[in-house]
Structure 1
Amino acid sequence: MHDDTDETSSSGTRSWLRHLPLIAIGLVALTGAFFLGDLLSFETLRDNREALIAWRDGNYALAVAGFMAAYIVIVAFSLPGATVATLTGGFLFGTFPGVVFNVVAATIGAVLIFLAARAGLGRRLSKGMDTSEGRLKKIKDGIRENQWSMLFLLRLLPVVPFFVANLLPAMVGVGFGAFAVTTLLGIAPGALVYTSVGAGLGAVFAAGETPDLGLIFEPYILLPLLGLAALSALPLVIKAVKGRKGLT
């Protein structure tokens, strides 16, 4: 005789296990926001710069692996300090290959939080949107139909918080491949800017100054980024124009 109680219990256990990664990320993120804000800072980098350089010079491969592992953890758990980590990548390894280490580590961290969110709330929310009516379903369908353009826009527009761009695609059922590729390519321009700033930190430290982190909003940086965003949005514009012509 089939036991419905056991089946319900098993289903509930599986549901709970699917939520564990997202719960862990939330708990670590909250803990990090309270206790790591001052630790993962520019001041910490400045005060420990000589020890970091000695560590890099002593074992370059280990330094690269350790740096990337730390960066992945920062992104995957949405900890404060991602910008400082990017600067550190430039400071320790130069613009190149520092930007490669930064982009790859940030992408891996983003993929991990994307998978955790999709395994937890993402699939349930995605199914709920599929069965819903009205504006909510239209939003999801719009993102699905134009996911490459939408994902690139999320990455290229500097006003969209990084963790939002990691979680939102999971909530609307975006494919893993599209998310990973657009993250890798979409964050590269901004990462290049901050990595290059990090590469020049030696002179900044020597002068007793702080880096200009608002550099990305300077016209000669922001305008090319907005141009890339506009290029990403072009398929959306073309589709909207075709749709209107079809209605007339």
Structure 2
Amino acid sequence: MTRGTLGKILLVAMALALVAAFFGFGFDKYLTLSFLKQSREALATAYAAAPARFLAGYFALYVLVAALSLPGATVLTLAGGALFGFWTTLLVVSFASTIGATAACALARTLFRQAIARRLTGKLKAIDDGIRREGAFYLFTLRLIPLFPFFVVNAAMGLTAMPLKTFYAVSQLGMLPGTVVYVNAGAQLGRLDSLAGIVSPTLLVSFALLGVFPLAARKAVALARARRARNARKGPTTRGETS
């Protein structure tokens, strides 16, 4: 057995052990809205006592959840907004989610290629076709409009030839608008100190954005694709006229 093969086996075993521990010890119960509601004051106290350490732990947990495709990223985003405020959470989540997604892509590419290819045959073909047609722009649209679940995009992209640095850069940019919407919703929930605040204009607008954003993103992508198609049609004609 070569050193490279042994290393892959150890990485697979470690990843599977982390997933098993996550569910086996019931950590998934802590990444729920009900737990966040019950533990908000205790979490806020812990953050106030050691902000840097708490943020570092939050960042590491978010990367781990994204990298191993564990449930709870949305709850973590809302919780961050409620605990840390908008700007701090946006900075942390934007990088943590992208680093985790890139790690998941790398794991799919190096360790789980055959298993993922068998499980995502139909979705993989659709994504492959999209990458061939539009390249990195297709990944950008998948990040803006969740046609496929987050973990499916990460895994499927690991089976393509897209460089990881391109995947990271496009994901960082494409996921940012959605991150802004969810972090803002969490930040507004964090300011809620009475039942009357539930009907405040700011909170209502924040949650309206959760519903409106996918529609707006879909429209923006459609316009961008139409513009790209027009430019592609005009290009050869313009070159022919000038030659």
Within 5 A, what are the aligned runs for 1:82-93? 82-93=73-84
Letter in 1 for 2:215: L
C-alpha spacing 1:38/1:242, structure 2 compared with 1 (3 Å): farther
Residue 148 of structure 1: aligned partner: 136
Of 214, 219, 237, the match for 1:222: 214
Residue 18 of structure 1: aligned partner: 8
Listed one character per residue, the Cα deviations across residues 96-130 of structure 1 (whole Å, up to 9, x for unaligned) are: 1211111111111111111111112449999xxxx
Task: Give the gaps of 5 or more residues in structure 1.
Answer: 1-8, 127-135
Of 180, 190, 193, the match for 2:181: 193
User: What CA distance in whole angstroms lies between the structure 1 residues aligned with 2:99 and 2:90?
Assistant: 14
User: Contact (CA 8 Å) 2:30, 2:36: kept in 1 or not?
Assistant: no
* Residue 38 of structure 1: how far off its partner (Å): 2.4
SS in 2 for 1:71: helix
Listed one character per residue, the Cα deviations across residues 28-86 of structure 1 (whole Å, up to 9, x for unaligned) are: 44654563332210111111111111122222222221111111111111111111100
SS in 2 for 1:200: helix
Residue 108 of structure 1: aligned partner: 99
Residue 49 of structure 2: aligned partner: 58
User: What CA distance in whole angstroms lies between the structure 2 residues aligned with 1:145 and 1:14?
Assistant: 35
Task: Give the gaps of 5 or more residues in structure 2.
Answer: 118-123, 238-243
Residue 38 of structure 1: aligned partner: 29
SS in 2 for 1:108: helix
User: What CA distance in whole angstroms lies between the structure 1 residues aligned with 2:52 and 2:143?
Assistant: 29
Q: Which shows bigger deviation, 69-78 or 200-209?
A: 200-209
1:177 paired with 2:165, answer: yes
Within 5 A, what are the aligned runs for 1:200-219? 200-204=188-192, 206-207=194-195, 215=208, 218-219=211-212
User: Contact (CA 8 Å) 1:29, 1:78: kept in 2 or not?
Assistant: no
Letter in 2 for 1:158: P
User: What CA distance in whole angstroms lies between the structure 2 residues aligned with 1:19 and 1:215?
Assistant: 46
Runs of 4+ in structure 1 deviating by more than 6 angstroms, as ranges, are 123-126, 136-139, 211-214
1:160 paired with 2:160, answer: no
* Residue 87 of structure 1: how far off its partner (Å): 0.5
User: What CA distance in whole angstroms lies between the structure 2 residues aligned with 1:92 and 1:216?
Assistant: 20
User: What CA distance in whole angstroms lies between the structure 2 residues aligned with 1:159 and 1:38?
Assistant: 27
User: Contact (CA 8 Å) 2:36, 2:79: kept in 1 or not?
Assistant: yes
* Residue 158 of structure 1: how far off its partner (Å): 2.7
C-alpha spacing 1:164/1:20, structure 2 compared with 1 (3 Å): farther
User: Contact (CA 8 Å) 1:22, 1:117: kept in 2 or not?
Assistant: no
Letter in 1 for 2:169: V
Q: TM-score when scaled to structure 1?
A: 0.74
